[in-house]
Chains A and B, each alone.
Chain A
Amino acid sequence: MIDRRRHNLRSDLEALKKKAEGVFEPRKHRSGAPPDGPRQPAAPGTGVGDEATGWDTPAGMKKPGRAPLHQPFVPGRRPPGTLDDLVTGEEVAAGGESFYRVLKEAELVWERTATFFPEYLEALSNPFTPGEGVLRPLRILTETVPEEICYLDIETTGLRMCPLFLVGLMYPSGGKLVIDQLMARDYTEEAAVLRFLGGVLTRFTVLVTFNGLTFDIPFIMDRIKYSGLELSLPAHHVDLLTVARRTIGDRTPNHRLQTLERFVLNRKRIGDVPGSEIPGVYHEFVRTGDAGDIAGVIHHNRLDLVSMLQLVTLFLSGRG
């Protein structure tokens, strides 16, 4: 009797899931590899392929004897381990709440950032275009102390009305570029992440995001409201997507960050966790505790942050 009921419910569920698939179809599509387009000359700061960091060689230049370029992400393929084993951060606990924080110098994550960072500082202090015309929104960056500029990118479990689990921040600190990632190891830790984020952000004057105007910032504010918290944002916000749209126009097939990486920064990620897989990876991590795949997501988040910084360098030096 109960089994039959469960059987029937399962078919109900299948029907509901099918409907849900329909809703998500476009999103899957968007995260596919961008079609081939015009190639841009190599930009400063783009390195050759470096497997450890997840960067591939510049588009079109294959290293012999390696896995195919379009190597898909396969869940569960990465070596298993705990979060402590694989990303080595620390637990932050306060007021009965806790979360996981991974604060690292960027060059430890990817040594080439050691060159990107000085180029970036140079572009800030000596911009080729003085923040006129389409680059006007970037002017605030050149007028602010670099230590008060923070890059932000979040990872969530969906498009809206669902938990976020990772807030990636990047900012200069003690002469080095650091990547500061706040992570909820399960859904109950989200509030602690948000509370801590509120504190960290008070140190900054400018926030830099990619599509933060429509996604990251409203999403965070939504979660703040949901959790009954308060948060005040830095005084200025630069959304690089709007800048990219205006400066690059139709020179690239679209203006997604990974498309710009490929056509403007001239490199391509390998084995990266596609955006559409991220929620599933996180939920599995919560369920099993195996951090193999989520470590990939944490890395994905870092790459996003670094690419944003490089885009700013590029735009300010007039080569976007």
Chain B
Amino acid sequence: MDVSKFLKKVTAEDFYHGQVVHKHAIPVRGARYGELTEPLPAELVRVLERDGIEKLYVHQVEAVSALRKGRDVVIVTSTASGKTLCYNIPVLERLAVDGESRALYLYPTKALAQDQLRVLKRYSGPDGLSFEAGTYDGDTPTSLRRKLRGEARILLTNPDMLHSGILPNHSKWAGFFSRLNFVVVDEIHTYRGIFGSHVANAMMRLQRICEHYGSRPVFAASSATIANPGEHAGKLLGRKMKVIKRDGAPRGRKQFLFWNPPTIDVGDMERRSSNIEAADLVTRLVLDDVQTIAFVRARVVSEVITRYTRDGLGERRARLRDTVYPYRGGYLPGERREIERKLFEGELKGVISTNALELGIDVGALQASIIVGYPGSIASAWQQAGRAGRGSEEALIIFIPYNTPLDQYLARNPDYFFGRNPENAIIDPGNPHILLGHIRAAAFELPLGAKEVEAMGEYAPAIAELLEEERELNYVKGRWYWRGRGYPSADVSLRNISPDIYTIIDEKEDNTVIGTIDGASAFQQVHPQAIYLHEAETYFVRDLDVDKKIAFVEKTNVDYYTQSITETQVKVDREEKSIDWRISRLAFGDVSVTDLTFMFRKIKFGSRDSIGYGKCDLPPQVLETQGLWIVPPAGVLALVRNWGRVPGEGLLGLSSVLREVVPLFVMCEPLDIGTTVNSRSTWGPAIYLYDKYPGGLGFSLKAYDLVEEIMQAALELITSCACKRGCPSCVGSPIPPFSQLDADVGGRGMIPDKEAALVILHHLLGMEPYTPLPSERKSGEEEIERPKGKPLPAELEVKLREGLRKKRGRS
């Protein structure tokens, strides 16, 4: 697309009020090709040429050469740089020359596996290569499963299916495993935190089974940009990985804009709706025939923006109205495939998507990408930005912040965004709570040798002994054998999400299933009287059957949507232990975190006006877990107050910092823990830190033991942060709260008080009292602006001061 022409046009329009607050150009990069030392088999060359591939980029050559030599690689080149060819070429080459070889492809979602199967199918056929390939997941019919086990040369599945369906039944797969040459693990940046630690253990089990059947497959992994791809892949797969990052794919010029919605009144802090700004931009891009994707955080927002965009298009060019679609989790698979296909074939001009399209589903390259609201990580933002750009064509990327502290901070400080490294992916496969389930599963699959157990982590031998004591394992001639009941892999879910899926049924249309929603979101989004949005249409939720897990809806034409309000409370169930940490009390024990969705608001489309409230009568959702809490002495709160600052804000700021620091000490992702400030179970306000996992995974327990180091690190982080009054890297929450809500209509909130946090930390750590900068805002009061005028010329000022001194001297 012609970016400057588009911008010229748009900025000349009435609706333009200086929204472009920052421009960042990403320069052109030419293609760099390489040459394989050994040529590819003729039939493979033929199918590649048919696909328009005549030369390979340098990174593809590097990957293919390494994989041919049996080296394990992780590929981290940009989106749409032809990553899949890096592993498809050596796999297909092997299939062509070795009639028995097998390959296993793992994708984080079923949809991705199906998408990649379509890519592979292009290579097979009468005038191509001949091989069987298929996806093996929960949807695969039983009759097909047997066939795939026997005949599939390339099997595409997900880690969950591998863990619960394939590994525990490995003898049925004996033929497959004994001939396995390649394991492809795509999108490994998604395997992080608790989920990643589980997947790493499943990969360990996979490799034991391969060894049992006498194979040693080569691993090819791929990842979006993260700070530590080599280390992460190494830990995940238990191999030393060669990192391939020299990107040879061409790139057109990309213009990255920060587009801040204009304030509505001068002096007013309200801004125009970010959702409407996004819709306005998508509308204009689509009218200019620019295929556009907009990324949003919340599912409801993908619907709302689609609606606005369709309205906008309807007014100008009605036939384009239905060329824009929402795309998100909860749509039926068929519906999603259809949208993907239309997008790929150019039938759709715009798609408003949640991060569901952030992963590598091939919808073809788009010409513009709009990021509506900060997605929560730098890595994710770049991943979304990467969706725009067709080869060497020019592309447009626009970030539209919401009127929230985090987003507005980024709008004011673009250098923060462009200068920051993407995040590390953290996993801890040796976490004893996670390991326990996999040692059981592994022992069930094959007896565990002493050496193997040792390699599973420092606590693994102790866990095996514990299981022996508990009569789940028997130790015979140097190996542990499973003797417990049942199928232990069925006791472990790899993902830390509620396994409940609610079905959404349209009563008026013969009880057709129109979509699904996960248990965690159902209460917030399909409570009775909610308006559920589907393909930008409004559905009234008549009833939510919690037992049967069904939401009954009916299509209703209304001019509003709903946003529920959920309150989170933490309470102490049982204090297990406590100590005096310096002058504070530090305790650890069982806590429950209760989410109660108690009411909802009706929001008018367009104006965002609240046009009514309603009550939700739903049971609370309780997470029973473990946590620690720190109760500072009353004195420190008074100290903060004396500086004219709000103690609660300082504590909140400190809790945000802990959310960033603690993961580094306890080896988890920020999303694996929660922090909050609450005074329900303690005499004064306390900072809570808990494991976001039923029963706990030992994160907060470890943090309890490391409190001194953690607090020192928190202080170090805040004092070394270059910001003046707090930013997302220090006291601001790095992750937007309640990400399933529309940030366009929520309360604005603010970045907590950095200075107050420093006053508290200095005091808690027994250091010199900290003198904060003068307060900018007094607690609870709006600051009254001083009258404005001309500054005094320097000479005049000096004279006036001298005169004053003389006057005083006289009196």
A and B are partners in one complex rather than unrelated chains: yes
CB distance from B146 to the nearest CB of A (A): 12
**One of B469-477, B534-542, B564-572 contacting the partner:** B469-477
Known contacts A2-B462, A21-B485, A225-B171; A283/B696 CB under 8 A = no
> Which of A6, A186, A280 has the most B CB atoms < 10 Å from its CB?
A6
- Output the least CB separation between A162 and chain B (Å): 7
A287 at the interface (CB under 8 A from B): yes
Whether the pair B705, A1 counts as a contact (CB closer than 8 A) is yes
Mark out the residues of chain B between 430 and 481 whose CB falls within 8 Å of any chain A CB in the assembled complex: 432-433, 436-437, 440, 444-445, 447, 459, 462-463, 466-467, 470-472, 474, 476-477, 479, 481
Interface hits, A184-229 → B, CB 8 Å:
186-188, 222-223, 225-226, 228
User: Would you call A286 and B476 a contact (CB within 8 A)?
Assistant: yes
- B482 and A162 form a contact (CB under 8 A): yes
For the complex formed, measure the closest distance between the CB of B396 and the CB atoms of chain A, giving whole angstroms: 50
Pick the contact of A11: B170, B471, B484, B695 (CB < 8 A).
B695
In the complex, whether B172 has a CB less than 8 A from a CB of chain A is yes
Please give, as numbers and ranges, the residues of chain B lying within 8 Å of A5 by CB-CB distance: 432, 459, 698
Query: Contacts A5-B459, A8-B696, A20-B486 given: A186-B169 contact, CB under 8 Å?
Result: no
Judge whether A23 and B171 touch: CB under 8 Å: no
| Contact among A13, A23, A163 for B436, CB-based, below 8 A | A13
B483 touching A19, Cβ below 8 Å: no
Interchain CB contact (< 8 A) of B466 among A10, A15, A19, A158: A10
Given contacts A9-B466, A15-B695, A223-B171, contact A157 B488 (CB under 8 A): no
Q: Check A23/B433 contact, CB under 8 A, given A163-B481, A187-B476.
A: no
A222 touches B171 (CB 8 A): yes
Partner of B485, one of A1, A15, A24: A24
Verify A188–B698 contact, CB threshold 8 A: no
B487 part of interface (Cβ distance < 8 Å): yes
B residues less than 8 Å from A292 (CB atoms)? none
Given contacts A6-B462, A161-B444, A222-B172, contact A287 B436 (CB under 8 A): no
| Interface membership of B583, Cβ < 8 A | no
Nearest CB in chain B: distance from A152 CB, A: 20
Q: Mark contacts of B690-707 with chain A using CB atoms, 8 A cut-off: 1 yes-contact digit, 0 otherwise.
A: 000001101001000100
**How many residues from A make CB contacts under 8 Å with B?**
38
Min distance, Cβ B105 to any Cβ of chain A, angstroms:
24
Contact assessment for A188 and B476 in the assembled complex, using a CB-CB cutoff below 8 Å: yes
Interfacial chain A residues near B732, Cβ < 8 Å? none
CB distance from A5 to the nearest CB of B (A): 6
Residues of B near A187 (CB, < 8 A) are: 447, 474, 476, 481
Q: Specify the chain B residue showing the minimal Cβ separation from A188.
A: B477
In this assembly, does B117 line the interface, its C-beta being within 8 Å of a C-beta of chain A? no
> Is A4 at the interface (CB under 8 A from chain B)?
yes
Q: Which residue in chain B gives the minimum CB-CB distance to A227? A: B171
A50 at the interface (CB under 8 A from B): no
Nearest B residue (CB) for A284: B471
Which of chain A's residues have a CB closer than 8 A to the CB of B433? 8-9, 12
Q: Decide if B695 touches A157 in the complex (CB within 8 Å).
A: no
Q: Is the CB of B463 within 8 A of A9?
A: yes
B261 contacts chain A at the CB level, 8 A cutoff: no
Could you tell me if B491 and A16 are in contact, using CB atoms closer than 8 angstroms? yes
Q: Is A49 an interface residue (CB 8 A)?
A: no
Say yes or no for A279: interface residue by CB 8 A criterion. Answer: yes
Task: Tell me the nearest residue of chain B to A15, going by C-beta.
Answer: B695
A161 to B696, CA, bound (A): 31
Find out whether the CB atom of B485 lies under 8 angstroms from the CB atom of A279.
yes
| Given the contacts A8-B698, A161-B169, A286-B474, A19 and B490 also touching, CB distance less than 8 Å | yes
- Shortest distance in angstroms between A128's beta carbon and chain B's nearest beta carbon? 41
**Interface size classification for chain B:** 35 or more
Whole-angstrom distance from the CB of A4 to the nearest CB of chain B?
Answer: 7
| Chain A hits for B169, CB < 8 A | 160-161
CB neighbours of A280 from chain B (8 A): 483
Please, which residue of chain B has its CB at the minimum distance from the CB of A222?
B171
State the CA gap A280–B171 with chains docked (Å).
23
Q: Does B174 contact A (CB under 8 A)?
A: yes
Q: Count A-B pairs with CB separation below 8 Å.
A: 102
1/0 per residue B139-182: CB within 8 Å of A? 00000000000000000000000000000111110100000000
Check B476 against A9 for contact (C-beta < 8 Å): no
Question: Which of chain B's residues have a CB closer than 8 A to the CB of A158?
Answer: 485
Q: CA of A224 to CA of B162 in the docked complex: distance in angstroms?
A: 22
Given contacts A5-B698, A222-B171, contact A283 B477 (CB under 8 A): no
Give residues of chain A (1-42) contacting chain B, Cβ–Cβ below 8 Å. Answer: 1-2, 4-6, 8-13, 15-17, 19-21, 23-24
If A20-B484, A188-B477 touch, whether A162 touches B447 (CB-CB below 8 Å) is no
- Can you name the residue of chain B whose Cβ is closest to the Cβ of A224? B171
Q: Nearest-CB distance from A304 to chain B (Å)?
A: 22
Contacts of A226 in B (CB 8 A): 170-171, 174
Check B491 against A186 for contact (C-beta < 8 Å). no
Among B172, B479, B491, contact of A20 (Cβ-Cβ < 8 Å)? B491
Known interface pairs A187-B481, A226-B171, A283-B471. Does A23 touch B476 (Cβ–Cβ under 8 Å)?
A: no
Rounded to whole angstroms, the CA-CA distance of A15 and B432 in the bound complex is: 15
Residues of B contacting A16 in the complex (Cβ-Cβ under 8 angstroms):
436-437, 440, 488, 491-492
Within 8 A of A (CB), among B179-235: 213
How many Å lie between the Cα of A160 and that of B172 in the bound state? 11
Q: Are B483 and A279 neighbours in the complex by a CB distance under 8 Å?
A: yes
Contacts of B471 in A (CB 8 A): 283, 287
A9 contacts B171, C-beta separation under 8 Å: no
The docked-state distance in angstroms from the alpha carbon of A163 to that of B474 is: 13
Among residues of A, the one whose C-beta sits closest to the C-beta of B446 is A226
Contact A12 B695 (CB under 8 A): yes
A30 vs chain B, min Cβ distance (A): 15
A287 CA / B169 CA spacing, docked (Å): 26
Q: B299-328, CB under 8 A of A: which get 1 and which 0?
A: 000000000000000000000000000000
The chain A residue with its CB closest to the CB of B465 is: A6
Chain A residues whose C-beta falls within 8 Å of the C-beta of B170 in the assembled complex: 161, 226
Nearest CB in chain A: distance from B16 CB, A: 58
In contact, B476 and A186 (Cβ under 8 angstroms): yes
Give the chain A neighbours of B491 by CB distance below 8 A. 16, 19-20
The docked-state distance in angstroms from the alpha carbon of A23 to that of B207 is 27
Given A5-B698, A286-B476, the answer on whether A20 and B483 have CB atoms closer than 8 Å is no
List, in ascending order, chain B residues with CB within 8 A of A286's CB: 474, 476, 481, 483
- Provide the residues of chain A in CB contact with B481, threshold 8 Å: 163, 186-187, 286
| B445 partner residues in chain A, CB cutoff 8 A | 161
Contact check, A23 vs B444: say whether CB atoms are below 8 A apart. Answer: no
B492-517 near A? 1/0 per residue, CB < 8 Å: 10000000000000000000000000
- Chain A residues, Cβ within 8 Å of B476: 186-188, 286
Nearest residue, chain B, Cβ from A187: B481
Chain B nearest CB: distance from A135 CB in Å?
32
Please tell me if the beta carbons of B486 and A13 are within 8 angstroms of each other in the complex: no
CB distance from A140 to the nearest CB of B (A): 28
Closest chain-B Cβ to A132's Cβ sits at a distance in Å of: 34
Question: Are A186 and B490 touching (Cβ within 8 A)?
Answer: no
Q: Which residues of chain A come closer than 8 Å to B477, judged between CB atoms?
A: 186, 188
B469: min CB distance to chain A, Å: 9
Q: Which residue of B lies closest to A157 (CB)?
A: B483
A8 to B168 CA separation, bound complex (whole angstroms): 26
Q: CB-defined interface of B323-347 with A at 8 Å, one 1/0 digit per residue?
A: 0000000000000000000000000
B residues whose Cβ falls under 8 Å from a Cβ of A:
168-172, 174, 213, 432-433, 436-437, 440, 444-445, 447, 459, 462-463, 466-467, 470-472, 474, 476-477, 479, 481-488, 490-492, 695-696, 698, 701, 705
What 16 new A-B contacts, CB under 8 Å, besides A222-B171, A225-B174, A279-B485? A6-B466, A9-B433, A11-B695, A12-B433, A16-B436, A19-B486, A19-B491, A23-B485, A24-B486, A160-B169, A186-B476, A188-B477, A223-B171, A225-B172, A226-B170, A287-B471
**Interface CB pairs A-B, < 8 A, 13:** A2-B462, A8-B696, A8-B698, A12-B436, A12-B437, A17-B485, A20-B491, A161-B168, A161-B170, A162-B482, A222-B171, A280-B483, A283-B474
The 4 closest A-B pairs by CB, nearest first: A20-B486, A283-B483, A23-B486, A226-B171
